[in-house]
Structure 1
Amino acid sequence: MKSTEDRTSYKRITEHRGQWALQRMGYYQEFGWSVEAEFDESILLWHIATDLLYHETKHENKEEPEHNDQEISQNISNYMLFLLIVRPFMMPAGIGQIRFGDTCAEASNFLQSEGDIKECAEKILRVSTEYDPGVVKGDRSKSVLFTGCKLAHLLKEQFIDGNEKKGIKPMNDSDGMWRLISAVWVEMLCYAASKCSGQYHAKQLSKGGELLTVVWFLMAHLGMGEQYRIEEGHARAKLIVAK
């Protein structure tokens, strides 16, 4: 809302699904590729990276962060994956379920023996992503497991331990990393809410409601999105629900 000043910017905000957050915080050059992919692919990439980093670091900090961006990121990440797999009709069209299936199959094949979640995360994070995972696995599989792992490595390199390679003392800015991750997730959530048809929001209301619809209504209240018309001369918006 701080970035919206006129009718054009109110509509423009729902065309971003992580780009604005990365640009505003100065990391688009490093991570822009991950949000310029197809939306379902971006969700899976950021879900994998979020999950790996969450389970690797959640026991490291003894003190709770002031705004708990780590928990916020994990919760929205899990919710967006739930929508992609269980409520695909509420999401922009894509091949999310195929990508999810291939990614699960590759994870299962790679991990083989069972372990706890933290051990699995550590094993995946130990994989080198020096080479493009897409080139290594070929075109047949739609799995994004190791591309998501690459994103996790890049986030760690940027915020935690990467500067060591350049002979610079590591920043260890874990809080900054989670602020960025949570900002991207919030933007993805708002994008998904604005792109979901009004009839599907209404359908889910009759079945108990959905967080995505609450976000949609909040955005309507603030006058943001394609479904909202801001009247000339009035600081209010009208919600337009197509039949």
Structure 2
Amino acid sequence: MSQCSILVLRRRKTPLALLRRLIPLPEQKKNVKVPREVKAAIVNTLRSIRGDLRNGMMSLQQLGIQVGGNFLQACNAKGTSDALLSWHIATSIFEVRYPHSTTSGHASVATHLSRYCAYLVSYSPELLPDDDAWSNSMYKATKKDAERVLSGRIAKPTPELQYRHLVELLTARSKHEVLKDGAKLGEQLVEFMEGEEAGWKALAEFWCKLLLYIAPSDNLDGHAEAIARGGELVTLLWALLTHFGVVSRRKATSTTNTTTTTTAT
């Protein structure tokens, strides 16, 4: 699985990295072997939902997380791609606050799938529900704005101070709405979750269900090209869900007291 990140918080000092700061070069993606805990989490999630594909907001409601309107705002974004990026930024912020806990299984699942979804928006937007040109353009604009904002970042001695400084920068200096939403969401995750492990567990479940939610597709040519390139995790999930008879997403709308759902297969 490939990995990308909107928030590059550790500056590399290699000659290529220094050259990239001077000359706009295509973003590098990192390829990693899919961790065992990621595979297990996806399979367990698929078993638990039994073809009932819910989006990220429904997943969070099931977990009983009620921490303000920004959760709803981030899940009801203009499209799937900007919601993915907002949650990717929020996950990155949570990781800044709790860097040592990334050795846990839930943290590994959340961070790997978050970066994989950022990669999909950047490199394979044709496999997502939104218009691929719009998704790619939005990613580039968000990435450029993030680089501008992070140029003013100052090293802090503790994770808590690093986190607060990052949120302050993104909140005050961001021009792109996705960055602003991600910053608000990340702050809420840190401030309102009942401990770091609870936060990582919620994020891991969220990313598993969201990846399964975006996997169904009628873009046969796009997935065929992905297979020709060596395959994609989302393509394997698309094939698996199709085998189970799940060929479209579950559409859900909710109000304060009621939830209406419809499933098309």
TM-score (normalised: structure 1): 0.68
- 2:137 partner letter: I
Query: Structure 1 CA distance, aligned partners of 2:57 and 2:242?
Result: 22
Instruction: State whether structure 2 residue 119 is matched by structure 1 residue 82.
Output: yes
Residue 92 (structure 1) aligned to one of 126, 129, 144: 129
Are the equivalent residues in 2 in contact too, given 1:18–1:183 (CA < 8 A)?
no
Provide structure 1 residue ranges, at least 5 long, that are not aligned to the other structure: 5-9, 160-170, 228-239
Q: Residue 84 of structure 2 corresponds to which residue in structure 1?
A: 43
Q: Residue 146 of structure 1 corresponds to which residue in structure 2?
A: 180
Distance 1:215 1:57, change over 3 A: same
Could you say what the CA RMSD is over the residues aligned between the two structures, in angstroms? 3.1
Offset of 1:28 from its aligned partner? 5.5
**Tell me, what secondary structure is at the counterpart of 1:2?**
helix
1:56-115 CA distances to partner (integer Å, 9 max, x unpaired)? 3122x49x43xx111111111111111111111111224322332232232222222576
Are the equivalent residues in 2 in contact too, given 1:107–1:145 (CA < 8 A)?
yes
TM-score (normalised: structure 2): 0.63
Provide structure 2 residue ranges, at least 5 long, that are not aligned to the other structure: 1-46, 250-264
Q: Residue 178 of structure 1 corresponds to which residue in structure 2?
A: 200
Q: Residue 261 of structure 2 corresponds to which residue in structure 1?
A: none
Are the equivalent residues in 1 in contact too, given 2:56–2:209 (CA < 8 A)?
yes
Are the equivalent residues in 2 in contact too, given 1:22–1:184 (CA < 8 A)?
yes
**Tell me, what secondary structure is at the counterpart of 1:126?**
helix
Query: Structure 2 CA distance, aligned partners of 1:52 and 1:29?
Result: 17
Q: Residue 7 of structure 1 corresponds to which residue in structure 2?
A: none
Query: Structure 1 CA distance, aligned partners of 2:84 and 2:127?
Result: 14
Offset of 1:3 from its aligned partner? 4.2
Are the equivalent residues in 1 in contact too, given 2:150–2:169 (CA < 8 A)?
no
Offset of 1:46 from its aligned partner? 0.5
Distance 1:147 1:203, change over 3 A: same
Distance 1:207 1:109, change over 3 A: closer
Query: Structure 1 CA distance, aligned partners of 2:62 and 2:153?
Result: 41
**Tell me, what secondary structure is at the counterpart of 2:137?**
helix
Query: Structure 1 CA distance, aligned partners of 2:152 and 2:65?
Result: 37
> Identical aligned pairs, as a percentage?
23
Q: Residue 56 of structure 1 corresponds to which residue in structure 2?
A: 97
- 1:17 partner letter: N
Residue 221 (structure 2) aligned to one of 199, 214, 218: 199
Query: Structure 2 CA distance, aligned partners of 1:216 and 1:73?
Result: 20
- 1:36 partner letter: N
Aligned counterparts, 1:132-143, within 5 A: 142-143=176-177
